[in-house]
Amino acid sequence: NAGVTQTPKFRVLKTGQSMTLLCAQDMNHEYMYWYRQDPGMGLRLIHYSVGEGTTAKGEVPDGYNVSRLKKQNFLLGLESAAPSQTSVYFCASSTDQGVADNEQFFGPGTRLTVL
Amino acid sequence: GEDVEQSLFLSVREGDSSVINCTYTDSSSTYLYWYKQEPGAGLQLLTYIFSNMDMKQDQRLTVLLNKKDKHLSLRIADTQTGDSAIYFCAAVSNSGYALNFGKGTSLLVTP
């Protein structure tokens, strides 16, 4: 099992450019999440999904869109990147059948810099 | 929503015990979690405690939960340099699915 994988690992964008971050999991998890991690801010939830075809807003959704067309994939889009979106992005997945409810499995992260 | 607070830094000597503290605001979270993040990596679940427990021990790790004071702590016995990492406390958010994380405690273990 690869677990949770994220592509790309690193990316540099110019202000106004768009990009999509891909998250994939091979654990058949229902729930998937996108977080951003900034120094001194911990992890903040951007969007999440409780199943294929569903998405919901988290704590900091503005400037991002997501799609969950397939159960194993959760895409995070930036339509017009801004310097404030410079961050490390983590994807996670979970199942309510886990050892502990809501135990989340994390990907290795994507480091995004917006100039 | 749930607020989870942690101290930001802790430095200990190798072989000593480390205690990382966390407070939370919403007592309805069924489980409370400790995650570990090593440099350049994602978060990994370290341990968790069910909300009706006061204590959980797992090898060198001891989790204490004081529900009255909404206080959670993680004790690492015989701390090693490999324990240097960021430790996050987390509780279930209002969504019932996602987690609210504290800002993380950076643990530095010196020889």
- What are A91-111's pLDDT values in tens digits? 999 986 544 566 889 999 999
Identify the pLDDT of residue A49. 93
Backbone angles phi, psi at B83, to 5 degrees: -85, -10
A110: nearest Cα among A9, A21, A35: A9
Q: Is the dihedral of CA A38, B2, A29, B42 positive or negative?
A: positive
Three-class SS state of A52: coil
Identify the pLDDT of residue B25. 86
Q: What's the average model confidence in pLDDT over B31-39?
A: 92
CA of B97, closest CA in chain A: separation in Å? 6
If contacts are CB pairs under 8 Å, which of residues 10-69 in chain B contact chain A?
A: 30-31, 33, 40-45, 48, 50
Whether pLDDT at B96 is above 90: no
Name every chain B residue with its beta carbon within 8 A of the beta carbon of A45: 93, 98-100
Identify the pLDDT of residue B59. 94
Identify the pLDDT of residue A102. 67
Name every chain B residue with its beta carbon within 8 A of the beta carbon of A101: 30-31, 92
Q: What's the average model confidence in pLDDT over A33-61?
A: 92
The pLDDT confidence band at residue B71, using thresholds 50, 70 and 90, is very high
Mean pLDDT of chain A: 92
Q: What's the average model confidence in pLDDT over B23-38?
A: 86
The pLDDT confidence band at residue B10, using thresholds 50, 70 and 90, is very high
The pLDDT confidence band at residue A41, using thresholds 50, 70 and 90, is confident
Structure tokens at A29: 């998890």
The pLDDT confidence band at residue B93, using thresholds 50, 70 and 90, is confident
Name every chain A residue with its beta carbon within 8 A of the beta carbon of B102: 42
Whether pLDDT at A10 is above 90: yes
